[in-house]
Amino acid sequence: MIEVRFHGRGGQGVVIASEVLAKAAFKMGFEVSSFPFFGVERRGAPVTAYARIDKNPIRIKSSIYEPDYIVVLDSTLLKGVDLLEGLKPGGKVLINYPDDKTLPEISDRFQYYTLDATAIAATHGIGSKMTPIVNTAIMGGFAKMSDWVSIEAMLEIIREVAPVKKDENVEAAREAYERTREVAV
């Protein structure tokens, strides 16, 4: 079973990102489950969501403590709580991070991927200029980082799920897929 944890802030589409991953994996024939840790948070507050992907039906309903992947939609969260807590050794981390900056000092036990999802979402006019909605771009990046979910499945689900600006969201995810790169730390 593959387990994924998402970190972001209310309004960025963290919960939808976890659903998009689940639906894309389901499209590829996997069994899936995705869920938010839903508090009573408002826009801007840290939000966590989770996804499980497996070949067999998923019965477990408890939370995820030792994920294989971590996705960070908002790099300002890197300064706060330990975002990498519980990540399995060799686990992969995808961070929405500006292209022109280098990652701060971070544990070398994991593999890191970055992409400037904020810039990509802004270019494609997704969300407002001040608060672009980065979830579709970041999921394009996820397809690049993982070797088991295809960009085609991801784009198909994004088109299905995006309530408005379907083409823009799909294009943002496609561009993000191209621009996601592994970074050495």
* Cα separation, 138 vs 140, whole angstroms: 5
We find the least distance from the C-beta atom of residue 58 to other proteins, in angstroms, to be: 7
Question: Do the Cβ atoms of 165 and 171 come closer than 8 Å?
Answer: no
Interaction between residue 92 and other proteins (CB under 8 A): no
Tell me if residue 146 falls in helix, strand or coil.
Answer: coil
- Which tokens sit at 167? 């083409």
Question: Do the Cβ atoms of 34 and 19 come closer than 8 Å?
Answer: yes
Contacts of 119 (CB under 8 A, 6+ apart): 98, 99
Interaction between residue 3 and other proteins (CB under 8 A): no
Interaction between residue 42 and other proteins (CB under 8 A): no
Interaction between residue 19 and other proteins (CB under 8 A): yes
The helix or strand, by DSSP H or E, that contains position 53, with its residue range, turns out to be strand 46-54
* Through-space distance between the first and last CA atoms of the chain, rounded to whole angstroms: 27
Interaction between residue 61 and other proteins (CB under 8 A): yes
We find the least distance from the C-beta atom of residue 23 to other proteins, in angstroms, to be: 5
- Which tokens sit at 36? 């938010």
Among 5, 7, 9, 23, binds other proteins (CB under 8 A): 23
Interaction between residue 26 and other proteins (CB under 8 A): yes
| 157: exposed, middle or buried (Cβ count in 10 Å: 0-12, 13-18, 19+) | buried
Closest residue by Cα to residue 96 from 10, 176, 178: 176
Judged by beta carbon, residue 39 or residue 98, the one nearer other proteins is: 39
We find the least distance from the C-beta atom of residue 153 to other proteins, in angstroms, to be: 12
Among 28, 35, 54, 183, binds other proteins (CB under 8 A): 35
| Stretch of 26-34, 72-80, 122-130, 169-177 lying at the interface with other proteins (CB under 8 A) | 26-34
Among 62, 89, 105, 129, binds other proteins (CB under 8 A): 62
Interaction between residue 33 and other proteins (CB under 8 A): yes
Interaction between residue 32 and other proteins (CB under 8 A): yes
Binding stretches for other proteins (CB under 8 A) = 18-19, 22-23, 26, 31-36, 38-40, 58-63, 65
